[in-house]
Structure formats: C-alpha cells, structure tokens
Structure 1
Amino acid sequence: MRIAILNRDGIGGGGATRAARRLRAGLRLRGHEALMVSPPQGHDPEGIAVEPAETDESHDPLASRANRLLQEGYIGPRRTALSNTLFSPEIAGYSFARCDALDAFDIINIHWVPGFIAPHNLESILGLGKPVVLTLHDMAAFTGGCHYSAGCGRYREDCSPCPQLEHDILQLARWTLGTKRRLLRHNNLFAVAPSSWLAACASASGLFQPGNVEAVPNGIETDIFAPHEKTAAKAALGIDPDVKTVLCGAENHREHRKGLDLFMAMLERLKDDPFVA
C-alpha cells in the first residue's frame, strides 16, 4: 500500500514527529510505501513538501498570519490558570482542494497538524474518499481548541463555556467544535489513540462514527530500546551502580500536566524512605 503520513514537521525531535517517523519506518519494513507530507519548512527530503496554494490573495497578510494573530491577540490574553498546555486556533491551514499530491495514496494518516491542516482542509481531504486515519497525540482533534481538557468534559457537548478561556466573547471553543462536527463526521474518518484512555475520550466526543476509534500503542525501535543488564548499563552511562536511579522525561517539563512538580515531591519523600534508599 501507499500511505501518506501528514505531520506539521517532516523531521524534528517532537514526540508526534518521532512517532510518525517511527511508524513510517515500521511500515516500510513491512513492504509498504510510506512518505511524510509536511509544509516546506522542516520537511523530510525523502517526503513531499506541500506549498501554500497560489491564489490572488496568497499574499494577504491577514490571511497568511491568521492563526498567529488569533493566538497572540485573542487566545493568549484570555488563557486561564487551569492549564498551560497548547490551545490552538484552527481557522487557517493548507488547502488540499486543488492538490493532487494525495491522489496516488491508498491511506492518509494525519498526525500533529496545528497551523497545517484546519477542519475545512481536513474536510477536503476526506472528500477524496480514501480512508483517513487521525493518529491522536493529544485531545485537540476532538475539542474546541485545547490540546488537553484538564478534566473538563465539555467537548462531549459544545465546549461552552470554555474554562481555559475567560471572557470568550467570540465563543471560539464552541465555534471550533461545532465546525468540526459539521464538517468531519464522515464514515471514512478514523482515529487511532496510543492509550485506552485517549481512545475513550475520542469515542465520547461525538466527532467520530461509532466503531471508528481504536487504541493502538505507539511503536518504538526495539533494537534501541531493549532491556540491558542493569550494572553494565549504569557503567556505560557513568552512573554509580549502588545509586537508585529513576528516569523521567518530557518534551516540555514546564507544562503542568506533565507533573514534574509531583515527581520532584515524590523523590523528596522517597529519599529518606528506608525501603528505597
């Protein structure tokens, strides 16, 4: 099969990009033709770089900067303390309506695409009639803009009022979710989540047709991430073999939801625990 993997970055170190590239590598090992499709900046040289559509209005500064203007002028000043995870405007993206780059593919797999594919762009991709699979790396695909709902379940209804935006006079979250539900409830739209929890959230959102959401764990390179003898591994990393070691990682440890403050508090309590020290 020929599989197009759409992501905002074709190369890079973000979690979604790494997952997409790992998937591409795994598909290729199984004999499929898989290519990354992304905007020109940061695209995979082996993949496809999608340019913005050339129209008479392509240089309209308001149109070309719409997402940034909305983020800086409206969303940013209205963010509440509930969450500091991304909240993306989804009003402008790359048009695929007159793009033949996807015609030759059998399946279209979409990963992390803020600023690349807005709901109306996704609608045009769905119009190709091919199976379109959203690989969920957060909750943004089925909310009114938040990438993490921070315990709010209003994405199951209409995202109004949004607890992450104060004085939302435009009712941006409600409009965004309503737009998604109006444009995207297609039988050929599927979602894959790396956890059962995220899959359950997506199923409850009402965006996807019943049965079109599955939980499939992300793949990793088992030749790299493989068990090793502990003493030898510590020696290779220059770690004292007698020291208790805990590994913690996050792309952005300043995000509240990553829980670094809780992790550090746990370590502080455990350091004097006779059963651990």
Structure 2
Amino acid sequence: MKVVLVSTYERKGGAAIACYRLKEALLKEGVDVTLLTAYKTSDDPTVVTPFDTRWKRLKNRFHFYKERFSIFIKNGFSRKNLFAISIADSGTDISAHPIIREADIIHLHWINQGFLSLNGIKELCKLGKPIVVTMHDMWFCTGICHHARECISYQNICRECMFLQNPGIYDLSYQTYLEKRFIHSSDITFVTCSRWLQEKVISSMLIQESLVKTIPNPIDIDFFSEGDRSFSRKLMKLPENKKLILFGAVNAGDKRKGVDFFVKALDILSQKYPDLKESVTVVIFGNFKGASFPKLSFPHIALGYLAKEDDILNLYRAVDVYVIPSLEENLPNTIMESMSCGTPCVGFDVGGIPEMIDHGDNGYVAKYKDPMDMAEGIYKTLFCGDYNQLRLNARKKIENCYSEKLVAERYIRLYESKI
C-alpha cells in the first residue's frame, strides 16, 4: 500500500507539523508513505516537492500572490482578514505527478495558500483513487473561512460573510460555496482531529453525505518525554528557583491566540496574590512579527521563535504550567507536547482543548474568554492539590490517546477499508 500525504508546508505551522508527524508514525509501522509539499525545507528523502526547478517555484509563488490579490480585489481592496479566508481559485494540478499516479491512497492535509485550487482537487477526484482529507480547520466545510466562529451559515449555504468588507446574499463566500458543491458528490473520506470539529463538519451541507471519522494527531512520546527539570532550566537559561508559567505559539501575536486574555489573567493573579511576583516568572516563546509584547504584571523572559525541537522539548520540561488562552483551536500540538513532557496545561473551553485537558485531572479548563477563571486555573494548578499527580496524569493521557503507534494504526485501518 502506497500512501501520499499532501501538505502546503513541510513543517511550518501546526497543521504541517501534524502531517509530518503522521508521516513519521506511518513509516515506523512499515507503510510506504511520501509527503508531497509545496515548500520542501529538509533533505528528508520521503519528502518531495513538485516545484523542483526555479521556474516551477516562481509559478507556485505566482499562484499564492494571485489568490491573495484576487481576495484583495473582490473584498473591496481591504487587507482585513486577507489570511483568514481562502478561495482556492489558483493552484497547481498535481494529478499527473508520478507520486500521485503511483499512490493507492491520496491523503490531503492543509493545502491552501496557492498550492491546490478547487479545480486541482477536482482533478484528483477524477483519478478514481481513494481520497482522505484530514481537516485541520473548517475550510473544507465552509465557503471561504478557516474558522467560522459563531457563524452557522455554512450549515446550509454561506452568504453575508462576516470576514468580508461588503457582505451580501451573493458575496464571495456564496460564490465559493457553490463552487465547492462537487465535494458533496465526491468519494472523499474526511478526518477531523477532534470531536468538536467533527460536530461542526457533519452539520455542513457540503459534507453531510460523506464519511467523517475522528482521529487525533500523533506525537512521538519517546522524544517528548519527562526529563530533569533543573537540567532543562540550565540549558534554556531560565531561573531555577521560580515557578515558571509558559505562553506562546508560532505566531504568538495573533489575536486568536488570546494574548490579551493571558495578560488580563496575569493582572488578576497579581492583584489577588501580590506575593507571587517574587516567586513566579512568565516565559514567552514565539514570533510577534514586530509587535512588542504587552506589559506584564510579572517578571518575564522572552525567548523568541524556537526553531530547534530540542529547545522546544527542554522548554516544556523546564516550566511548571503551559497556558493556552486561544480563542480558536482544533487540537493544539502545543498542549500535546507539553502534557507529553508531564507539564499540566490551562486553556479555555473551546474547540478540541477540553478533549485534551481533563479538568482537574491533568490541568484546568477555564470558562471561555474568562480571564478571572483562567487566573484561578493557573493558581490552582501551581499551588493547590497534588501537582505531581497532575504531571503523571498529563503524561498518561498522551500515552493513552495520542501516541504515534495508536494514531498510525487507526489511519492504516482507514486506508485498508478504502482500497
């Protein structure tokens, strides 16, 4: 059985990382698997790109800019929400690529931003090969958005889209939704990483008749594992005698990552427990794209973007709690990584987060957009109850639900059922 995974990026962003980790998990189970990506960044022989010449790479970049420019024009020359939506009106037809032709299973992951167009996906469907789509966001079941938030229009037909400058009955979301109707009659199996996303997906008219499974992302529990906290703190040059609260993401400045709520939670924590300023330090990682981090009521250390997995590993091992105040999430890799290292997490009750954090057992699930409850969660995790038991429970949850072997076996059974 030959499987090809298709992803815009090799390892940039949560969806790409999850896809790459699935490739590794499948390889360990003996599956003949290749990752086809628009942006190959490593010398991994199991990763290939259709853009292997300068001309092809330029053409791929053209598709990226063409789609963004098209959105810019059709959205009334507004840059607002330019990357919150995708229309897939431009892309590369990969249906004739040798890797695709040889594959028994075509497995699409996040393929936006000029890699595959809707016409390109149609061409893949025409091959008659089994197609699996892992949804890392809502794009396949909506008109144009990646996260519908409170909107439920996609359940029938998208229109009057809140992401558009001039929403209307026949707006861009409506037009793209109509173009996606081929999904309804295609033999595509959809996989969601969380039960939360599955509930969203099966309510969409585009996917209601399709088979929808829930299989989480995998993680290498042998790599992301507990270690010597003192040693990791020395490596990362972090204080050894403080309680360390971790916050961050690849693009930590993105408002959807909830930085404002994190700051408010820390303000509440410092006001309610002023003595904590002497014993607590906040650690921040990620890219803020030129923006400065908001002023915090606790001492903090900014590590910036961490490219090396060893640094990420030691950071999770070094800290006492990871706080994820995200306002939109599917199944965050960061929670998985943190808990696999035995570090409890605090997050809002949104998306797939409450499926990962078992409230009071391995972390704390705060009320959505409630910084006061988040502050309480941070305090209780660090200073109340049996902290060591929280650590043990966090690690056990990852072992039992998200290990590479467990996830790979579920995908293999799905593949075999489609051949």
- TM-score (ref. length: structure 2): 0.57
Name the residue aligned to 1:22.
21
User: What's the offset of the Cα at 1:241?
Assistant: 4.0
Aligned to 1:125, the other structure's residue is in SS state helix
Aligned to 1:101, the other structure's residue is in SS state helix
Name the residue aligned to 1:107.
105
Name the residue aligned to 2:66.
66
Aligned to 2:246, the other structure's residue is in SS state coil
Superposition pairs of residues 52-201 of structure 1, within 5 angstroms: 66-75=66-75, 77-78=77-78, 86-114=84-112, 115-168=114-167, 171-181=171-181, 183-186=182-185, 188-201=187-200
User: What's the offset of the Cα at 1:75?
Assistant: 3.4
Identity %: 26
Q: Which amino acid aligns with 2:13?
A: G
Aligned to 1:91, the other structure's residue is in SS state coil
Tell me: higher relative CO, structure 1 or 2? Use CA pairs within 8 A at least 6 residues apart: 1
Q: Which amino acid aligns with 1:227?
A: E
- In 2, the alpha carbon distance for the partners of 1:157 and 1:226 equals 44
Partner deviation per Cα, 1:1-30 (whole Å, 9 max, x = no partner) = 2110101123x4321221111110000000
Aligned to 1:124, the other structure's residue is in SS state helix
Q: Which amino acid aligns with 1:71?
A: I
Name the residue aligned to 2:259.
260
Using a 3 Å threshold, how does the CA distance of structure 1 residues 199 and 258 change in structure 2: closer, same or farther? same
- In 1, the alpha carbon distance for the partners of 2:239 and 2:209 equals 52
- In 2, the alpha carbon distance for the partners of 1:75 and 1:211 equals 31
Larger relative strand fraction:
2
- In 1, the alpha carbon distance for the partners of 2:259 and 2:39 equals 35
Q: Which amino acid aligns with 1:72?
A: F
Name the residue aligned to 1:56.
none
Using a 3 Å threshold, how does the CA distance of structure 1 residues 224 and 64 change in structure 2: closer, same or farther? closer
Residues 159 and 167 in structure 2, CA contact (< 8 A), matched pair in contact too: no
Number of equivalences: 267
Name the residue aligned to 1:227.
226
Using a 3 Å threshold, how does the CA distance of structure 1 residues 134 and 27 change in structure 2: closer, same or farther? same
- TM-score (ref. length: structure 1): 0.83
For the aligned residue pairs, the C-alpha RMSD in angstroms reads 3.1
- In 2, the alpha carbon distance for the partners of 1:39 and 1:218 equals 21
Aligned to 1:192, the other structure's residue is in SS state strand
User: What's the offset of the Cα at 1:100?
Assistant: 4.4
Residues 8 and 110 in structure 2, CA contact (< 8 A), matched pair in contact too: yes
Using a 3 Å threshold, how does the CA distance of structure 1 residues 44 and 193 change in structure 2: closer, same or farther? farther
Name the residue aligned to 1:204.
203
- In 2, the alpha carbon distance for the partners of 1:49 and 1:217 equals 26
Residues 92 and 117 in structure 1, CA contact (< 8 A), matched pair in contact too: yes
Name the residue aligned to 1:251.
250
Name the residue aligned to 2:50.
50
Q: Which amino acid aligns with 2:180?
A: K
Partner deviation per Cα, 1:44-79 (whole Å, 9 max, x = no partner) = 652332259xxxxxx8xx989531321333337346
Q: Which runs of 5+ in 1 are unaligned?
A: 53-58
Aligned to 2:213, the other structure's residue is in SS state strand
Using a 3 Å threshold, how does the CA distance of structure 1 residues 162 and 88 change in structure 2: closer, same or farther? same
Residues 75 and 87 in structure 1, CA contact (< 8 A), matched pair in contact too: no
Aligned to 2:36, the other structure's residue is in SS state strand
Residues 85 and 257 in structure 1, CA contact (< 8 A), matched pair in contact too: no
Using a 3 Å threshold, how does the CA distance of structure 1 residues 252 and 21 change in structure 2: closer, same or farther? same
- The runs of at least 4 aligned residues of structure 1 exceeding 6 Å deviation read none
User: What's the offset of the Cα at 1:185?
Assistant: 1.9
Residues 24 and 35 in structure 1, CA contact (< 8 A), matched pair in contact too: yes
Q: Which runs of 5+ in 2 are unaligned?
A: 53-58, 274-375, 384-419
